[in-house]
Chains A and B, each alone.
Chain A
Amino acid sequence: MNSPDPSRQIADLQDHRDRMLLDGITRSDDDAFAELFRRYGPQCLGLATRVVADRTLAEEIVQDVFLGVWKAASRYDPARGTVRGWVMMQVHHRAVDVVRREQAERRRNSNQLPPVNERDVEDVVEESWMAARRQQVRAAMNDLPEEQRTVLELAYFEGMTQAQVAAHTGLPLGTVKSRTLAAMRKLNQSLAEARAT
């Protein structure tokens, strides 16, 4: 029998707690909502800001997503992943939609990226497991070959379609597809190894 993976156990317990919070939200428990919002709001805001490059727009996205969680927490299906993944995916999809509608593109061109100031980052209060996980993910990203990391960042954080990534990098579409898959596989493997150590 494999030895238990402590970080996996912590993540499982966190997800259990998250599911309990969702359970509370379905019963209109606004304290449960506030706990979930404070737990993941900063990360959601960081993700949305990174994608749309506009703090105000990012706040609107995060607000919309969390209002959706409040109104339809029962739509969460445990079989399809963690609560954190479910919320982050919604934020990412909304942010990418915004980018693709080119509303943010104009801001992106005119503003460039000063939306995150150091004070905002320093003021973040988060649980240690999430900070530890972030370190693992960043290390795994840094370990990717640059050409793989580039396609991943353009797709996920810039909200580009694969055709747009190909146009942006000048690579053939097939190469973009194969590099994206290779990058995701390597990232997954590195994270699995990081969890096991």
Chain B
Amino acid sequence: MTHLDNEQHIAAYLLGSLDEGERRRAEPELIEHIAGCDPCRELYVALKETTSDLALVAEPIAMSPEFEDRVLGAVRAEGVDTLAARRAQRVPKFARKALVASIAAVLALSGTTAYLYSSRQEERRLQQQAAAIIHDPAAAHVDLCKEEARCNVSVLPSGKGVLVAANLPAPPEGKVMELWLLKEGIPTPAKVFEGVRGQVWLLFEVAPGHYDHAAITIEPGPHGTQRPTGPMIYSGELTA
């Protein structure tokens, strides 16, 4: 296929206007082409958003109470995605101690964090502050671990918090990771950092408040952004 063929296929693919056979043939070629062609990758991302907007041309239709009840009733009667539920379930109160202990264990092992701090004494002082936050009964915690990566966030109502992480993948060149705390969906930037090979703990401070979620996104480096713009790689609910 020529480059133009690929561009035309991207548009048709996103619109759903390839027939089943065409789609099966085009898909692997498109994936391969997009992976190695920056303009086509940009075109794909742009047209995907455009296709999503195209749905808005259709007039929305009010859902009848009967229809709403039927769907909500069916959902309550259905099982859930048990794998996801297992992975993302709330931390039960009895498990809180174990979570705190596990974060503290990572903290205690984080001897490889010296690159951040000018002296061993300074490192020790900051480590004590981190431990105090983690063990504070008022702290809310979230476990953002995924696959090999370990990532725990603890935050106090005062806004002081700590991120304890290990084996986070490095962001793409020119990008950084940014930690956000969210309250009712509104994100507050908390910390910008790069990939973590060993174990690291990072103190941060945001405006006081009861944040309900934490998330990490990939953002332009070196300073990150004030509003999330990049893909969210970790997110979870903060539980007291």
Residues in A lying within 8 Å of B, measured CB to CB: 4, 9, 12-13, 16-17, 19-20, 23-24, 26-28, 30, 33-34, 37-38, 41-43, 45-47, 49-50, 55, 58-59, 62-63, 66-67, 70-74, 78-82, 84-85, 88-89, 91-93, 96, 116, 119-126, 130, 133-134, 137-138, 141, 152, 155-157, 159-163, 165, 177-178, 180-181, 184-185, 187-188, 191
- Give bound CA distance, A136 to B67, whole Å: 29
Q: Is the CB of A85 within 8 A of B75?
A: no
- Give bound CA distance, A34 to B157, whole Å: 29
Q: Is the CB of B75 within 8 A of A9?
A: no
Q: Does B54 contact A (CB under 8 A)?
A: yes
Q: Which of A27, A30, A126 contacts B75 (CB 8 A)?
A: A30
Q: Does B88 contact A (CB under 8 A)?
A: yes
Name B184's closest neighbour in chain A (CB-CB). Answer: A17
Q: Does B159 contact A (CB under 8 A)?
A: no
CB-CB under 8 A for A38 and B68, given A74-B83, A120-B62, A188-B47:
yes
Q: Which of B37-72 contact A (CB under 8 A)?
A: 46-63, 67-68, 70-72
Q: Is the CB of B56 within 8 A of A16?
A: no
- A30 surroundings in chain B (CB, below 8 A): 72, 75-76
Shortest Cβ gap from B238 to chain A (Å):
12
- B22 surroundings in chain A (CB, below 8 A): 161
- B63 surroundings in chain A (CB, below 8 A): 38, 41-42, 45
Q: Is the CB of B57 within 8 A of A137?
A: yes
Q: Is the CB of B71 within 8 A of A130?
A: no
- A116 surroundings in chain B (CB, below 8 A): 59, 61
Q: How many A-B residue pairs have CB under 8 A?
A: 214
Q: Is the CB of A85 within 8 A of B72?
A: no
Q: Is the CB of B227 within 8 A of A9?
A: yes
Q: Does B101 contact A (CB under 8 A)?
A: no
Shortest Cβ gap from B34 to chain A (Å):
12
Q: Does B228 contact A (CB under 8 A)?
A: yes
Q: Which of B176-229 contact A (CB under 8 A)?
A: 182, 185-187, 213, 215, 227-229
- Give bound CA distance, A190 to B121, whole Å: 58
Choose among A125, A126, A155 the residue with the greatest number of B CB atoms under 10 Å from its CB. A155
Q: Which of B16, B17, B19, B237 contacts A23 (CB 8 A)?
A: B237
Q: Is the CB of B72 within 8 A of A187?
A: no
Shortest Cβ gap from A131 to chain B (Å):
9
Shortest Cβ gap from A117 to chain B (Å):
9
Q: Which of A63, A82, A157 contacts B52 (CB 8 A)?
A: A82
Q: Is the CB of B11 within 8 A of A12?
A: no
- A177 surroundings in chain B (CB, below 8 A): 8, 11-12
Q: Which of B8, B11, B186 contacts A13 (CB 8 A)?
A: B186
Q: Does B89 contact A (CB under 8 A)?
A: yes
Q: Does B90 contact A (CB under 8 A)?
A: yes
Q: Is the CB of B185 within 8 A of A43?
A: no
Q: Does B79 contact A (CB under 8 A)?
A: yes
Q: Does B143 contact A (CB under 8 A)?
A: no
- B7 surroundings in chain A (CB, below 8 A): 181
Contacts A96-B16, A116-B61, A133-B53 given; 18 further ones with Cβ under 8 A?
A12-B227, A20-B213, A23-B236, A27-B88, A63-B74, A66-B75, A71-B81, A85-B49, A88-B52, A89-B52, A91-B55, A92-B16, A121-B59, A138-B56, A138-B57, A157-B58, A181-B11, A188-B50
- Give bound CA distance, A165 to B84, whole Å: 41
- Give bound CA distance, A165 to B8, whole Å: 15
Q: Is the CB of B52 within 8 A of A81?
A: yes
Q: Is the CB of A191 within 8 A of B50?
A: yes
- Give bound CA distance, A134 to B52, whole Å: 11
Q: Does B15 contact A (CB under 8 A)?
A: yes
Q: Does B231 contact A (CB under 8 A)?
A: yes
Q: Is the CB of B61 within 8 A of A20?
A: no
CB-CB under 8 A for A187 and B50, given A26-B85, A41-B68, A124-B61:
yes
CB-CB under 8 A for A79 and B231, given A26-B88, A177-B8, A181-B8:
yes
Shortest Cβ gap from A34 to chain B (Å):
6
Residue pairs across A and B with Cβ atoms less than 8 A apart, 27 shown, are: A4-B227, A19-B215, A19-B235, A28-B85, A30-B76, A34-B72, A37-B71, A41-B71, A43-B56, A43-B58, A43-B60, A55-B61, A62-B71, A63-B67, A71-B80, A71-B81, A125-B62, A134-B57, A138-B57, A157-B58, A161-B19, A177-B12, A180-B17, A181-B8, A184-B11, A188-B47, A191-B50
